Amino acid sequence: EAYLQAIEAGNKALNAYVAVTADKAREMARASDERLAKGEGGALEGVPLGIKDLFCTEGVHSQAASHILDGFEPAYESTVTANLWADGAVMLGKLNMDEFAMGSSNETSHYGPVVNPWRAKGSNRDLVPGGSSGGSASAVSAWMCAGATATDTGGSIRQPAAFTGTVGIKPTYGRCSRWGIVAFASSLDQAGPIARNVRDAAIMLRSMASPDAKDTTSVDRPVPDYEAALTGDVRGLTVGIPKEYRVEGMSAEIDALWQQGIDWLKAQGAEIREVSLPHTKYALPAYYIVAPAEASSNLARYDGVRYGLRVNGDDITGMYENTRAAGFGAEVKRRVLIGTYVLSAGYYDAYYLKAQKVRTLIKRDFEQAFEDVDVLLTPTTPTPAFAPGEITDPVEMYLNDVFTVTVNMAGLPGISVPAGLSADGLPLGLQLIGKAFDEETLFRAGGALE
């Protein structure tokens, strides 16, 4: 009830929730109380969560914040949300996001932009919460849920977590099932939690993760007790500092925060070592070929026949064209155009194939670095949260993802932990990148930074 009241009071200003499922929440909470009364109960018994609109939730409309999925009510539940409910969590509602998870500011949503609960000191100007999981980050930050599901294709969990002073972890590719999550770029997409602190994120991820026969890329490995990894002890840990992440355009305060993170870990007994990831500068351009390519293919299914919106035309082609023209927003259309172009016969080798080769080089860079270190420390974003409308050039917007996309390209786990405030009082995040399936070290080191 307290969370429902907080949503009632705060959502008008923040636009984080696109649907509040109050009846369902009360019903689930009652069932949870009954289980607890019987001495039963899972790891998340009674914990009220918000769910990103990208997750299919049975009988509750799930639109990926797109007009083209108008009124779509899945007849099935995503594996990740089913896992959460099986552990006793309670659903508060569906959370706003960039349309089809394409964006870094939550300005591309069909439901309108999400507002960050934070303000710069002495200013009343709205700020973006980051994207694409902006609703998840904003809701957690404003106490409108205890935790939220999110997804990360190129930074969409970690960047909004950094912009809102919350913790977000993208686990290793394959850790969480993608079944029932609307696909953006299937070889990059991963689900993960946004939570108020590292411990909450650890507890949530343990519930979300599972092998799943319905997603052939999910990995059949036992899910460790991540909470147990929070020992508070980083002695003996070797932390790599990738020198190529000192990019142009990084603000001085982000640089200072990074140094502070290094100093903190060192003071607690970690060993710091500089490492090189030489292909870093190609990650962003390669990502913006691979991700749109996969998106253009995944989004081909929205044809006005199978889901949501239909706008009739003179014939079937006209219907397709009218539906897609009306149903997709500008950023989604841009991605479909880029993706179709780079996959076309004449350009495939020059763009898509080249980008896949770059991806292999990036992966190898990390493998080599992890021969010498246990974990890498970088900033999460090059700047703190900016104002809506401030970045209008799409390519400039893509630069937000410069520190995060490499991790998706290599399939590795990455966590963003709030680590300080900017001069004008805005949250800043540090990112830890781990070896494949070693989320435990991220929680361990993340706990020491928090």
Regarding 291 and contact with ligand GLN (CB under 6 A), the answer is yes
- Beta bridge mates, 434: 375
How far from 300 is each of 10, 156, 310, CA to CA, in Å? 37, 22, 14
Task: Count the neighbouring beta carbons within 10 Å of the beta carbon of residue 282.
Answer: 18
Q: Shortest gap between Cβ of 367 and ligand GLN (angstroms)?
A: 23
CB of 30 to ligand GLN, least distance (A): 35
CA 420 to centroid of chain Cα atoms = 21
Note the Cα 316 to chain centre separation in Å. 36
How many residues of this chain bind ligand GLN (CB under 6 A)?
13
Scan for tokens 């993170």, then name that residue.
Answer: 261
With contacts defined by CB under 6 A, name the span among 102-110, 194-202, 306-314, 375-383 that binds ligand GLN: 102-110
Check residue 102 for interaction with ligand GLN (CB under 6 A).
yes
C-alpha span between 169 and 261 (Å, rounded): 18
**Residue 1 in tokens:** 């009830």
Q: In the structure encoding, which two tokens stand for residue 206, read together?
A: 């343990």
**How far apart are CB 5 and ligand GLN at their closest, in Å?**
31
Q: Could you tell me the smallest distance in angstroms from the CB atom of residue 266 to ligand GLN?
A: 31
User: What's phi and psi for 169, nearest 5 deg?
Assistant: -125, 130
Shortest reach from residue 245's CB to ligand GLN, in Å: 18
**Beta carbons of 27 and 69 less than 8 angstroms apart:** no
Q: How far apart are the first and last CA of the chain?
A: 29
Please tell me whether residue 156 binds ligand GLN under the rule CB under 6 A: yes
Q: Is 104 in the site for ligand GLN (CB under 6 A)?
A: yes
> Does 169 help bind ligand GLN (rule: CB under 6 A)?
no
- Closer of 184 and 366 to ligand GLN (Cβ): 184
The residue whose Cβ lies closest to ligand GLN is: 156
Rounded-to-integer distance, Cα 29 and Cα 48, Å:
8
Distance CA 26, CA 112 (A): 28
Which residue in the set 15, 63, 153, 177 belongs to the binding site for ligand GLN (CB under 6 A)? 153
Closer to ligand GLN at the Cβ: 52 or 444? 52
Contact predicate 193/169, CB 8 Å: yes
**Span 123-142, contacts to ligand GLN by CB under 6 A:** 132
Look up residue 103 and give its two tokens: 């964006």
Q: Which of 52, 94, 170, 435 is catalytic?
A: 52
Active site residue 186: no
Q: Applying CB under 6 A, does 155 fall inside the site for ligand GLN? A: yes
Query: In the 8-state DSSP scheme, what is residue 281?
Result: G
Question: Could you confirm whether 422 is annotated as catalytic?
Answer: no
Q: Which two tokens stand for residue 144?
A: 């409108």
Smallest distance from ligand GLN to CB 288, Å = 7
* Pairing label, strands 48-52, 238-242: unpaired
**Annotated catalytic residue, options 32, 78, 105, 132:** 132
Touching ligand GLN, residues 374-403 (CB under 6 A): 401
- Residue 99 contacts ligand GLN per CB under 6 A: no
156 annotated active-site = yes
Under the criterion CB under 6 A, does residue 154 sit at the interface with ligand GLN? yes
Q: DSSP secondary-structure letter at 351?
A: I
Minimal distance, residue 409 CB to ligand GLN, in Å: 12
Q: What is the phi/psi pair of residue 267, to 5°?
A: -60, -30
Contact between 131 and 108 under an 8 Å Cβ cutoff? The reply is yes
Q: Which of 133, 138, 156, 177 is catalytic?
A: 156
Binding site for ligand GLN (CB under 6 A): 101-104, 132, 152-156, 184, 291, 401
Q: What is the set of active-site residues? A: 52, 132, 156
